[in-house]
Structure 1
Amino acid sequence: MLEFDQVHKTYATPQGPIRVLKDVTLRLAPGQSLALMGESGSGKSTLLHLAAGLDLPDQGTITLAGEGLAALAEPARAKLRREQLGLVFQQFHLVPSLTVIDNLRLQARLARRDDTAWTAHLLERLGLHGLEKRYPEQLSGGQQQRLAIGRALAPRPALLLADEPTGNLDETTASHVLELLLSLVHETQCALLVVTHSPQVAAPLDRCLRLSHGSLLDATP
């Protein structure tokens, strides 16, 4: 579903070029989950941006759902993101002027995959049934993150990218949200890539890789 093959990424700075990723190779199959850990500045965000086609590597190839990202123009990459990717962030990025149900259906509508039965199922699984007409500000932090997860999964993406998805939640709420996330990912059989600082978040995933000075190390016990 997602392949990095000998990927390098360097950024130009006034102090000279900075190599952020060095010879990164990874494979993520449908239904698999992968945690990516590392210190701040290790290249985690860069790798996530590359996986989403928001940036392109200097060397190497990245393939998403069978498509080589470098071979696609930006409109085609945007279409691929819309149809194949779900994104979950530490900051919930819900639309404050939209109700719960409209936030939930937003991504599915953009992907032209709005499914009434699946939406109703998600509302139940997310614990948001009966809250459809509320606005994000009327929800707790845990409810907002559950809604953000549901929005990302509403179009049934092939790959879900999650950037510190429980970083703004207390420990108990984070545990419940993570359990729900993994359960829904298993149900949809999408691939999952999670960037996290938390060993507790990484532990239940299939594999864990660590970025160190731009290189990937296998951190799975």
Structure 2
Amino acid sequence: MLELRQVSKSYATPQGPLRVLDGVDLSLAAGESLALMGESGSGKSTLLHLAAGLDLPDAGSIHVDGRPLADMHEGQRAALRRARLGLVFQQFHLVPSLSVADNMTLQARLAGRHDRTWCDTLLARLGLASMARRYPEQLSGGQQQRLAIGRALAVRPALLLADEPTGNLDESTADEVLALLLELVHDSGCALLMVTHSPRVAAPLNRCLTLAHGRLQGATSGTP
């Protein structure tokens, strides 16, 4: 579902080019969950943005759902994100003028993949059905995060990319949101790549890789 081969990425700094990723290889199969760990500034978010086609590598290749991102123009990559990818970030990026229900279905409608039954199921599973007519400002932080997860899954993505999806939540709420996320990912059959700094958050996923000095340093097995 996701394949990176010898991916490198550098950014310009006053001191010269800073190489953030240095020949990274990574593969993620359908139905598999992978946690990507590393210190702040290690390149975790950069890797996630490259996997989403939000940026392009300096070298190497990235395939998503069997398609090389380098062969697509920006519009095609945007269409791929709408139809085949789900994105969840620390900042929820909810539309304040839309209701909970309309925020949930936004990406799916844009992609022409709206399934009312699935969206209603997500609202119920995420504990948001009774709040469907409310607006984001009327929700707690945990409820907003659950809504952001639901919006990403409403399109039935082949690949879900999550950047510290529980980073702004207290530990108890984070555990609850993570459990719901993994349950829904399992039920939908999509692949999950999640960036986190927390070993506790990474533990339930199938695999965990650590990014350091631009390279993946090792792997540990999580819950199958």
TM tier, shorter chain?
A: over 0.9
1:182 alignment partner in structure 2: 182
CA deviation profile, 1:18-72 (whole Å, cap 9, x unmatched): 1110110010000000000000111111101100001111111000011100111
The Cα of 1:219 is off from its aligned counterpart by 3.2
SS of the equivalent of 1:31 reads: coil
Matched, 1:191 2:161: no
Matched, 1:38 2:38: yes
2:59 alignment partner in structure 1: 59
Which letter maps to 1:220? T
Matched, 1:128 2:156: no
Q: Which moved more, 1:11-20 or 1:125-134?
A: 11-20
2:99 alignment partner in structure 1: 99
TM-score (norm 2): 0.97
Where do 1:139-218 residues align within 5 Å?
139-218=139-218
Q: Tell me how many residue pairs correspond in the alignment.
A: 221
SS of the equivalent of 1:5 reads: strand
The Cα of 1:14 is off from its aligned counterpart by 2.3
Which letter maps to 2:67? E
Unmatched segments (≥5 aa) in structure 1? none
RMSD: 0.8
Q: Which moved more, 1:137-146 or 1:7-16?
A: 7-16
2:76 alignment partner in structure 1: 76
For 1:91 and 1:15, the matched residues in 2 are separated by 30
SS of the equivalent of 1:182 reads: helix
Matched, 1:89 2:89: yes
The Cα of 1:111 is off from its aligned counterpart by 0.9
SS of the equivalent of 1:12 reads: strand
For 1:219 and 1:141, the matched residues in 2 are separated by 32
1:22 alignment partner in structure 2: 22
Unmatched segments (≥5 aa) in structure 2? none
Identity %: 72
For 1:55 and 1:176, the matched residues in 2 are separated by 32
